[in-house]
């Protein structure tokens, strides 16, 4: 027994040592690469005003060029990045073409420079995962180890882009399978995320953290808890609208019988027209609007239009649908913060910035199926005071969004309701949802009774001849 125990502990110790070393190296390298990427985005945004006309007039041309570059040099760099990384982990043992890194970086820069409504975390995750895959392949790692390293790359990419090392690391693990966290890769993901985050800070990358000035005055605020529960339901609906709009727009564009270049040009023209009508607020990353929505000063956050979350959903759906390159989570943050801002004003709350913060993480929780990462992110970005409220809101949003996601390659590892009949283990995009036998009969019985009551009601109302 002693020999067996010593053997077990020694093996685990060696394994932990190995992955601490590997994930540290991977994290530092990815932190350096992502720093270059983030600095490049800053440069692109800073020089948008250098063109002699409104920069978003470039959208039709840049989207066409983006589609061409991706199609010719790295088809897997298409879309918002994270989707392809999840697919690589599940279907190709983490193998990613090295060409994805420069192509994704360039395509995202062009899209953002022209005003395309995309984010930076998807490319960050794809660049991180691609770097990890290249290193694993170069040094001839086993398939299992390469897969682990790629997951570390995802976590390092998210952590270094978000500026939230713990949430970023958890997000990289949680986003792969809905309802399942891969504990065997949890430690290396944490280390890779922290190493990448530390490296980006060392290289001068600055992050934004928000003070929503919310402080708990009493231990149990029942009215506020009730409002947070209702907010969670609202954010679940917003998440569902966002996912549905993104999915429907993508399918609609694919059905159009025109070349990819014509569709990209037409989509760019539509975005230019929408911008002339609604303004530039919904272009690019939208970080200024997110800051406005989260600002605790009422005179500032009241200036965010109530329809901002709907407009951003449309801008992002068109940009990605016609071939723009970039992430999806930053637009999700925009949608969440502005919808929370709207909800706070709608209920007449004194804590509008709090609800904007809850929306920020809760819509991400629902749209990406990552409630744990979202809750931790709330603590890292907004402070410990909102942790319990964020947990309630994020989980409700996660459940009410249903079995849908902005990442169609996510595997389904759980049912969000015991009353539903769902095939576990399938890609979420191909999942078929129905009521199980008993609950289907109950629902049918309820519908039949309701129909009979409605018929009797109208019979009574019908005038006698």
One domain for residues 310 and 375 = yes
Query: Could you report the per-residue pLDDT of 54-107, keeping only the tens digit for each?
Result: 999 999 999 999 999 999 998 877 776 777 788 888 888 788 888 888 998 999
Q: Distance between CA 179 and CA 258 in Å, rounded?
A: 39
In a domain, 463, yes or no: no
Higher pLDDT: 166 or 443? It is 166
pLDDT of 428 higher than 90: no
One domain for residues 227 and 265 = yes
Last residue of some domain: 150, 167, 202?
A: 202
Q: Distance between CA 254 and CA 291 in Å, rounded?
A: 35
* Other beta carbons within 10 Å of 176: 21
Query: Which is it for the CA torsion 255, 258, 261, 262, positive or negative?
Result: negative
Q: Distance between CA 235 and CA 360 in Å, rounded?
A: 9
pLDDT of 446 higher than 60: no
Helix, strand, or coil here: 180? strand
In a domain, 161, yes or no: yes
| Counted domains in the chain | 2
pLDDT given at position 271: 97
Over residues 17-38, the mean pLDDT reads: 94
Q: Distance between CA 390 and CA 396 in Å, rounded?
A: 10
pLDDT category of residue 465 using cuts at 50, 70 and 90 = very low
pLDDT given at position 334: 96
Residues in the chain, total: 465
In a domain, 418, yes or no: no
In a domain, 446, yes or no: no
φ, ψ for residue 284, nearest 5 deg = 60, -150
Higher pLDDT: 437 or 116? It is 116
pLDDT given at position 441: 58
pLDDT given at position 462: 55
When the pLDDT of each residue in the chain is averaged and rounded to a whole number, the result is 88
DSSP secondary structure string for all residues of 101-149: HHHHHHHHHHHHHTT---BSHHHHHHHHHHHHHHHHHHTT--HHHHHHH
Q: Which residues contact 308 (CB under 8 A, 6 or more apart)?
A: 281, 282, 289, 293, 334, 338, 341, 342
C-alpha of 73 from chain center: 26
Q: Is the pTM of this model over 0.75?
A: yes
Q: Which residues contact 91 (CB under 8 A, 6 or more apart)?
A: 409
One domain for residues 185 and 229 = no
pLDDT given at position 464: 52
Please choose, from the candidates 401, 4, 383, 377, the residue with its C-alpha nearest in 3D space to the C-alpha of residue 241: 401
One domain for residues 295 and 385 = yes
Q: What are the structure tokens assigned to 155, written together?
A: 């976590």
Q: What are the structure tokens assigned to 321, written together?
A: 């649908």
Structural domain including 250 reads 222-401
β-strand partners of 434: 421
One domain for residues 228 and 160 = no
One domain for residues 381 and 245 = yes
In a domain, 159, yes or no: yes
One domain for residues 359 and 255 = yes
In a domain, 452, yes or no: no
In a domain, 294, yes or no: yes
pLDDT given at position 340: 96
**CB under 8 A, 24+ apart: contacts of 102-108:** 103/69, 103/70, 103/73, 103/74, 103/77, 104/74, 104/77, 104/130, 104/325, 105/37, 105/40, 106/69, 107/66, 107/69, 107/70, 107/77, 107/325, 108/37, 108/41, 108/81, 108/325, 108/326, 108/327
One domain for residues 151 and 246 = no
φ, ψ for residue 295, nearest 5 deg = -70, 125
Over residues 290-318, the mean pLDDT reads: 91
Q: Provide, rounded to the nearest whole percent, the portion of the chain with pLDDT above 90.
A: 56
Please report, in angstroms and rounded to a whole number, the separation of the first and last CA atoms in the chain.
93
pLDDT category of residue 283 using cuts at 50, 70 and 90 = very high
Give me the CATH number covering residue 189: 1.10.3080.10
Query: Could you report the per-residue pLDDT of 209-238, keeping only the tens digit for each?
Result: 888 877 766 667 788 999 999 999 999 999
Look at strands 411-412 and 177-178 and give their pairing: parallel
Last residue of some domain: 401, 429, 453?
A: 401
Q: Distance between CA 62 and CA 59 in Å, rounded?
A: 5
DSSP secondary structure string for all residues of 318-333: HHHHTT--SBSHHHHH
In a domain, 267, yes or no: yes
């Amino acid at each position: 027994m002693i020999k067996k125990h010593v053997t077990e502990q020694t093996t685990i110790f060696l394994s932990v040592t190995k992955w601490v070393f590997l994930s540290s190296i991977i994290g530092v390298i990815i932190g350096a690469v992502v720093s270059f990427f983030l600095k490049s985005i800053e440069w692109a945004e800073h020089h948008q005003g250098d063109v002699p006309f409104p920069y978003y007039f470039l959208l039709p041309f840049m989207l066409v060029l983006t589609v061409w570059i991706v199609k010719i040099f790295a088809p897997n760099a298409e879309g918002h990045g994270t989707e392809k990384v999840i697919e690589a982990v599940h279907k190709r043992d983490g193998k990613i073409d090295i060409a994805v890194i420069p192509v994704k970086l360039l395509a995202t820069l062009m899209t953002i420079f022209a005003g395309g409504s995309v984010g930076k975390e998807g490319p960050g995750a794809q660049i991180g995962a691609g770097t990890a895959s290249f290193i694993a392949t170069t040094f001839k790692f086993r398939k299992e180890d390469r897969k682990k390293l790629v997951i570390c790359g995802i976590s390092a990419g998210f952590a270094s882009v978000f500026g939230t090392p713990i949430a970023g690391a958890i997000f990289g693990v949680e986003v792969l399978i809905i309802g399942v966290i891969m504990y065997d890769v949890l430690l290396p993901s944490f280390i890779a995320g922290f190493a990448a985050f530390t490296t980006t800070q060392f290289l001068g990358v600055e992050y934004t953290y928000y003070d929503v000035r919310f402080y708990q005055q009493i231990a149990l605020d029942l009215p506020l808890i009730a409002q947070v529960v209702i907010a969670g339901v609202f954010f679940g609906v917003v998440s569902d609208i966002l996912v549905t709009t993104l999915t429907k727009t993508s399918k609609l564009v694919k059905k159009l019988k025109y070349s990819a270049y014509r569709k990209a040009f037409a989509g760019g023209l539509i975005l230019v027209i929408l911008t002339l009508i609604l303004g530039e607020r919904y272009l690019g990353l939208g970080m200024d609007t997110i800051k406005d929505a989260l600002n605790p000063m009422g005179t500032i956050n009241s200036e965010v239009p109530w329809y901002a979350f709907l407009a951003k959903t449309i801008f992002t759906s068109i940009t990605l649908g016609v071939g723009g390159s970039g992430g999806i989570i930053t637009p999700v943050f925009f949608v969440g913060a502005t919808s929370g801002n709207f909800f706070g004003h709608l209920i007449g709350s004194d804590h509008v910035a709090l609800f904007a913060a809850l929306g920020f993480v809760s819509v991400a929780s629902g749209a990406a199926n990552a409630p744990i990462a979202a809750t931790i992110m709330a603590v890292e970005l907004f402070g410990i005071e909102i942790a319990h409220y964020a947990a309630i809101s994020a989980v409700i949003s996660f459940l009410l969004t249903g079995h849908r996601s902005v990442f169609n390659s996510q595997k389904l590892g759980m049912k969000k309701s015991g009353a539903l009949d769902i095939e576990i283990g399938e890609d979420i995009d191909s999942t078929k949802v129905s009521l199980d036998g008993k609950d289907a009969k109950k629902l049918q019985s309820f519908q039949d009774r309701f129909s009979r009551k409605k018929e009797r009601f109208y019979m009574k109302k019908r005038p006698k001849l």
